[in-house]
Structure 1
Amino acid sequence: MEPNSMVGLFILVCLEGLFDPCTCLLDNAGRADIEAVRYRLQDEKEKRLFLENDVETMMLKLAELERRCRKDITPAESASSIQCPYAFSRGGNSCYLYVPVQSTWIEAQMYCRVFGGSLVSIETPEELTVLRDYLQSSNASIMVCLDGTDMLNEGVWHWTTSSGSQTMIGKARVGLWAGDMPDNGGQSEHCLALWKRSGRYDGNDQTCSSKLPFICEGK
């Protein structure tokens, strides 16, 4: 009998279940394939666990580096990193621009928005000191327009372009207002300006239609 005929007969006998060793051979082959797949899955699972451990370790290291960076950065370094809008000068934690253009309070507000800021407001005594120094170094006019008004409620002064408190703007004890201000002269002074008297700039109420130079603030 030809070899090919022998192979065909052997397969036929196996398929018909007439020869038990064939069944054993096929079962063993199937088990071997299953075991190979199982080993591969186990190997992939172990690799995944290793990768997850590596990622977790890297995340812990990253968190530690971020903590060290935050600890190493001082307030002075943080302030120095402030990027001011074009033509603005940095002062403390803010950016200032003195504009020597005679403008009403409303005009000054609009100009500052065009320049990329807002009419300056003063939120802390420290900022007031920085602003006074800036005006002195800028050879500013003896009176400059700021944000701040009591147009909505006479005698209740507030900022319109920041979260500055009414207490900060309204009480002489913080050092903003000149001792005899605000006086609402002529019953028509409802906008805030800084007036250079006795060598330094102090708060003064002015008519909102007065044309004054002004200061913009950008943050």
Structure 2
Amino acid sequence: MLWHKLIAFAVLSLVLCQLHQVTSDDANPGCRTNFSRVGDKCLLIVEERDGWYEADRNCRALGAGLLSLQNPIQLLELNQWLNNSGQPFAKDYWTSGNNLGNQYRTFFWQSTGKEATYIPWAAGQPIHIDNCLLIESSEIFNANYRLSVTLCSMVISSVCEHAPLNYTLSNVTRICLKPDSFETVQVLVN
């Protein structure tokens, strides 16, 4: 009679383990390890302080790019996330924005290659003496982040982004707890 209880406990443990794994995976759906889901993007703060070129290379090594902003909703989501990210004080972060090699001073997002048509400037910006965009705040708590132009050689932290990964069908087989039936689930990770 004891072995029935042991088997029931083992099955229950397996089910609870599977439920925990599914719940854990949904915390940041579609995001790589250590990235957080923020709206329609997956973001990661890189505390290592580098110049713009090194920050861009570091994000690319993670399969991501430096942050870009396309609209006010993304800025609002970014502000909320940065203010709730556990950083004790507002910081400056590299974005992918730059006007490198552009004589007309038009800014582009390096991560997308598209012209930066939405640029929420900080007070007194833009100044057209330098080429790279960072997101900054003059406030310490509940910061209101905005874009500024600065030297690409400044050493600051950065925010990397990648689009959420889409899962499509492929061949992966899972065994159902019923001994006479099988369930086939197909998953492909990009």
What TM-score does the superposition give when structure 1 sets the normalisation length? 0.56
Q: Corresponding residue for 2:34?
A: 87
- 1:163 Cα deviation after fit: 5.3
Query: 2:51 and 2:161 mapped to 1: Cα distance?
Result: 17
Q: Corresponding residue for 2:65?
A: 118
String of CA shifts for 1:58-116, please: whole Å, max 9, x gaps: xxxxxxxxxxxxxxxxxxxxxx8841011000001110000111111010111111112
Query: In the alignment, does 2:149 pair up with 1:205?
Result: yes
Give the number of the structure whose residues are more often helix, by fraction.
Answer: 1
String of CA shifts for 1:130-157, please: whole Å, max 9, x gaps: 1111111121652111111011225211
What TM-score does the superposition give when structure 2 sets the normalisation length? 0.64
Q: Corresponding residue for 1:152?
A: 101
Query: 1:81 and 1:88 mapped to 2: Cα distance?
Result: 7
CA pair 213-81 structure 1, distance change in 2 beyond 3 A: closer
Q: Corresponding residue for 2:80?
A: 133
1:123·1:164 contact (CA, 8 Å) conserved in 2? no
Q: Corresponding residue for 1:24?
A: none
CA pair 81-96 structure 1, distance change in 2 beyond 3 A: closer
Query: 1:81 and 1:101 mapped to 2: Cα distance?
Result: 23
2:28·2:36 contact (CA, 8 Å) conserved in 1? no
Number of equivalences:
132
Query: 1:121 and 1:152 mapped to 2: Cα distance?
Result: 19
Backbone CA RMSD of aligned residues? 2.1
- 1:168 Cα deviation after fit: 1.7
CA pair 112-85 structure 1, distance change in 2 beyond 3 A: same
1:123·1:165 contact (CA, 8 Å) conserved in 2? no
- The answer for unaligned runs of 5 or more in structure 1 is 1-79, 170-175
Query: 1:216 and 1:167 mapped to 2: Cα distance?
Result: 20
Give the number of the structure whose residues are more often strand, by fraction.
Answer: 2
Query: 2:28 and 2:123 mapped to 1: Cα distance?
Result: 37
- The answer for unaligned runs of 5 or more in structure 2 is 1-26, 164-190
- 1:179 Cα deviation after fit: 3.1
Q: Which consecutive segments of 4 or more residues in structure 1 shift more than 4 A? A: none
Name which one, 1 or 2, has greater alpha-carbon Rg.
1
2:56·2:66 contact (CA, 8 Å) conserved in 1? yes
Q: Corresponding residue for 1:102?
A: 49
Q: Which amino acid aligns with 1:215?
A: V
Query: 2:28 and 2:144 mapped to 1: Cα distance?
Result: 29
Query: 1:190 and 1:163 mapped to 2: Cα distance?
Result: 15
1:168 to 110, 118, 131: 118
Query: 1:142 and 1:179 mapped to 2: Cα distance?
Result: 16
String of CA shifts for 1:179-209, please: whole Å, max 9, x gaps: 310113xx3x210001112431111111000
Query: 1:202 and 1:130 mapped to 2: Cα distance?
Result: 13
